[in-house]
Amino acid sequence: MAGQGEIVQRKIVMIGCGVVGQGFLEILVQKKELLSKKFGFEPVLVGVSDMMKGSVMVPEGIDIPAFLEHVSAGKKIDEFSAPGAVAGLDSIATIQQADADIMVEVTYTDIKTGEPATSHMREALKKGMSIATTNKGPITLHFKELCGLAEQNKAILKYEGVVMSGTPIFDLLDYCLAVNDVKEIKGILNGTTNFMLEKMEEENMAYDDALALAQKLGFAEADPTADVEGFDALAKVIILSNVVLGGNIGTDDAERIGISGITIEDVQQAKAENMRYKLIGSTKLVDGKIIASVKPVKLPLSDPLAGVGGAVNALTFSTDLSGDITIQGSGAGKIETGFAIMIDVLNIHREL
């Protein structure tokens, strides 16, 4: 832990340089003075490697505003010039040679293989680097192995953004609700479907129209399967089951029903009963076994999750000491998800 008033430099290598990575770098620029004055933290970005955009390593530290301008202009990262810059290394070589304290892993998520992110993480942890990531793949598939590697190498593994993006849940449990036994977790883990169900109820919109509107507004992909069939929410439920409840389950071990079977009649019938359909992800430990699911549930309006409207996420943790604690916030966005990396990096700084 850094002493009061002291400023500590932490070397950061960033693997992946898409929306989230750039959001993180923008926050580093915007909050430079605060990070230094309030937290004694001076980030030094020593390398960036992106599979599509190229890579650069600068042992003395990259000028972050200049780098962001370079990338925003659509230029290759290899072409970023700085004294002592080494270009063209692949991601693994960048991790091996960067001599960083922290790796920021923000490559694309592959939920089936967890690659290439898992290989990046193994490599970083073996070198004793701590990790901040928003990548669901490795945390869904290889959580226990990665924790073991982190412990062996006295490194810290942080992944606040993998479930609710910039809305804190793992830090909430670790720092604010520690000592509690979490008995059950349930919530709204997909903003797109929450938006669609709300439109069907409030504006009497048919399913297909609600989906078309979500696509038009950029919430839903052209292929909406991951959202509407519950696969996105399911990955988050698996993570919560394994990370928070200590389970060891895969995507085949949980029930999954999407909202594509929900009709406008179902939604309106629920409304007439003072109830509301929500796509609920939930998990609990019963007699040592995880019971997890994603499915549409008709909630009474008095349920805290019933009032969660719009393209947001919310989770209720049922605990033994603090009762039910519900947190709600954005589940996506460039700056919000960039913040998830920022808080992980800052907490690594505070704990190192």
Amino acid, res. 313: N
Nearest-CA neighbor of 233 among 283, 276, 197? 283
| 304 alpha-carbon distance from chain centroid | 23
Quick one: which of 172, 212, 249, 264 contacts a copy of itself (CB under 8 A)? 172
User: Per-residue contact track with a copy of itself, 322 to 351, x per CB under 8 A?
Assistant: xxxxxxxxx--x-xx-xx--xx--xx---x
Mapped onto helix, strand or coil, the DSSP state of residue 331 is coil
CA–CA separation, 134 and 22 (whole Å) = 13
272: which residues sit within 8 A by CB, 6+ positions away?
A: none
Count the Cβ atoms, other than its own, within 10 Å of residue 339.
Answer: 24
Q: Which is nearer to a copy of itself, 23 or 258 (CB)?
A: 23
Closest distance between a copy of itself and the C-beta of residue 229, in Å? 26
310 binds a copy of itself (CB under 8 A): yes
Footprint on residues 38-57 left by a copy of itself (CB under 8 A): 39
CA–CA separation, 41 and 44 (whole Å) = 10
CA–CA separation, 41 and 348 (whole Å) = 11
Footprint on residues 179-218 left by a copy of itself (CB under 8 A): 179-180
Specify the stretch interacting with a copy of itself by CB under 8 A; choose among 72-80, 89-97, 159-167, 249-257: 159-167
Quick one: which of 14, 20, 27, 155 contacts a copy of itself (CB under 8 A)? 27
Quick one: which of 73, 178, 222, 286 contacts a copy of itself (CB under 8 A)? 178
Task: Please tell me the count of residues contacting a copy of itself according to CB under 8 A.
Answer: 47
Closest distance between a copy of itself and the C-beta of residue 148, in Å? 15
CA–CA separation, 165 and 161 (whole Å) = 4
272 binds a copy of itself (CB under 8 A): no
Mapped onto helix, strand or coil, the DSSP state of residue 56 is strand
Residue 126 bears catalytic tag: no
Nearest-CA neighbor of 237 among 264, 256, 261? 256
Quick one: which of 73, 272, 286, 321 contacts a copy of itself (CB under 8 A)? 321
Specify the stretch interacting with a copy of itself by CB under 8 A; choose among 34-42, 51-59, 65-73, 246-254: 34-42
Q: Where are the beta strands (DSSP E) in the chain?
A: 8-15, 41-50, 54-57, 86-87, 102-105, 130-133, 157-158, 182-188, 255-256, 275-286, 289-300, 312-319, 324-330
Q: How does DSSP classify residue 276?
A: E
Q: Which is nearer to a copy of itself, 137 or 168 (CB)?
A: 168
Residues that bind a copy of itself (CB under 8 A): 1, 27, 31, 34-35, 39, 160, 166-168, 171-172, 175-180, 301-302, 304, 306-310, 314, 321-330, 333, 335-336, 338-339, 342-343, 346-347, 351
Q: Which amino acids are annotated catalytic?
A: 236
